[in-house]
Structure 1
């Protein structure tokens, strides 16, 4: 149970690859499905500053990295986009209502550890000049490093989950038809472990905003499909501060102990 970003982020930024986290590789398929080589993975890192003041939604490892910073003290939200060279991020703020116009009011630059998600950053702008150390907003023990191999025909129908530590197939996700170009990899239930989110094309269109949720269970080290979440219509947006999932700004669910409770 995890999700919160703008629809254009998962259906747009989702279309951007994260080669350092996962990649589409060829493996021998034992059925008629063909390897899909161009599936892109979008990973949302939910980060929190060491002093608890700032929350950062970071999308890195993609051609156009971007981030959304929340200052809980000033009640301010700042959107960034920019460039990445290896682990170095150079981000600049932009006007949310006019994304074609760049804004240099704020700069957020730093080094991202792609394994630990530690982000050592420098925030400048409007009288602000400070170093901020970010880490995962939700810590997890023994978080696996994974990559994915994809199979399908006109749609994505199978995902092989590979443990990067030993190169072995840890699990095979199947029994669905999903959008074949992109998947989401994010912490949908705020437990510190990343989950897999697919756009459901089994009787639906992308525009219907129906999603398939494979939630990681650390006790079994397996992804489990969530029928409860799949009943919800709309694009999920995650609020790390409140541990809430917003759907199209109309429906809000509170996440507690891995369970969803309707708030609005």
Structure 2
């Protein structure tokens, strides 16, 4: 199995969201059971309130990491580190520079997991940088639900990778009620993606499609896009036709699926950029 591909969708966990064992539930002609160990990879896209910095952040896990883009100096800094509660402490692992003597950076701050607000300080080893940075969601949305997931699937030799995800319950954390049950798919049960694919401020669900003998390495994905008008997740046949993992470039509102498949998102519409 291609470990790099798996990391794209399974590197992070939003929190410990897997449910406890519960009785089997019907889904079509199958009896599904609750499954655990499913990790939720959540990509936060944050922008500094002064508009200078853009931060892609994966937090809430044992190895928080991200990339900070300085839009004024056209510079990117990759970070990784640790987290205790809402406190993040990240150190640079690479900078867009060929100069080996380039300064090292640290980014420390407090992240509110519900609002996406983050107060932080960026410092450099050469003491030229010591900036307080206030981050907020790059794409704001009204009435964004705070949700957790319950996972159901099937296990056994007949299932892809020995275990397949076949139902996903969306739980409203405010009242613990089921907002929606996503069904009609067979997906990789190791992890799911939870990210704002169309840059509208609402997080969408991305699953690795393992139906019809597909493998994770095939990079075929199932997209459930959140519709704020209906307050429901809807499948996107348009996105599911594209082969490749959706690498989001939020500062440009572009999606790179690899193999020269670069798309611009404008007013919710997906337009391919011809090179």
Using structure 1 for the length normalisation, give the TM-score. 0.90
Q: Are the aligned partners of 1:88 and 1:112 in contact in 2 as well (CA < 8 Å)?
A: yes
Cross-structure match for 1:137 = 138
Q: Is the 8 A contact 2:75 2:95 kept in 1?
A: no
CA spacing shift, 1:132–1:9, aligned 2, 3 Å? farther
Tell me which residue corresponds to 1:115: 114
Distance in 2 of aligned mates of 1:8 and 1:55 = 25
Q: By how many angstroms is 1:30 displaced?
A: 2.6
Measured at CA, do residues 74 and 191 of structure 1 come closer, stay the same or move farther in structure 2, by a change above 3 Å?
same
**Residues 249, 91 of structure 1: CA spacing in aligned structure 2 closer, same or farther, 3 A cutoff?**
farther
The 3 A distance-change label for structure 1 pair 134 and 140 is: same
Q: Which of the residues 7, 10, 17 maps onto 2:13? A: 17
Corresponding residue number in structure 1 for 2:147: 146
> 2: CA distance between counterparts of 1:74 and 1:263?
25
Q: 1:7 to 1:242 in 2, by over 3 A?
A: farther
Question: Structure 1 residue 209: deviation in Å?
Answer: 0.5
CA distance in 2, matches of 1:156, 1:96: 38
For residue 257 of structure 1, report the CA deviation from its aligned partner. Answer: 1.7
1:235 deviates by: 1.1
* Corresponding position of 2:164: 155
Is residue 2:248 matched to residue 1:238? yes
Alpha carbons 1:93, 1:104 under 8 Å: kept: no
Matched-pair contact (CA < 8 Å) for 1:94–1:104: no
Deviates more, 1:74-83 or 1:120-129: 120-129
- Give the Cα separation in 2 of the matches to 1:11 and 1:190: 18
Please state if 1:173 is matched with 2:213.
no
Deviation at 1:91, TM superposition (A): 0.0
Q: What is the SS of the residue equivalent to 1:108?
A: strand
Give the structure 2 partner of residue 39 of structure 1.
Answer: 38
Partners of 2:164 and 2:95 in 1: CA distance: 33
Identify the structure with bigger relative contact order (alpha carbons < 8 Å, sequence gap 6+).
Answer: 1
Aligned match of 2:268 = 258
Partner of 2:25: 30
Counterpart position of 1:60: 59
- Write the distance in 2 (CA, Å) between the matches of 1:254 and 1:175: 29
TM-aligned CA distance change 1:8 to 1:93, over 3 Å? farther
Tell me if the contact between 2:65 and 2:80 (Cα under 8 Å) persists in the aligned partners.
Answer: yes
Structure 1 residue ranges (4+ consecutive) displaced by more than 3 angstroms after TM superposition: 6-9, 26-29
Q: Which runs of 5+ in 1 are unaligned?
A: 1-5, 98-102
Q: Pairwise mapping of residues 71-220 of structure 1 onto structure 2 (< 5 A)? A: 71-95=70-94, 105-125=104-124, 126=126, 127-153=128-154, 154-203=163-212, 204-220=214-230
**Does the 8 Å CA contact 1:87/1:114 hold for their aligned counterparts?**
yes
Tell me by how many angstroms 1:11 deviates: 3.2
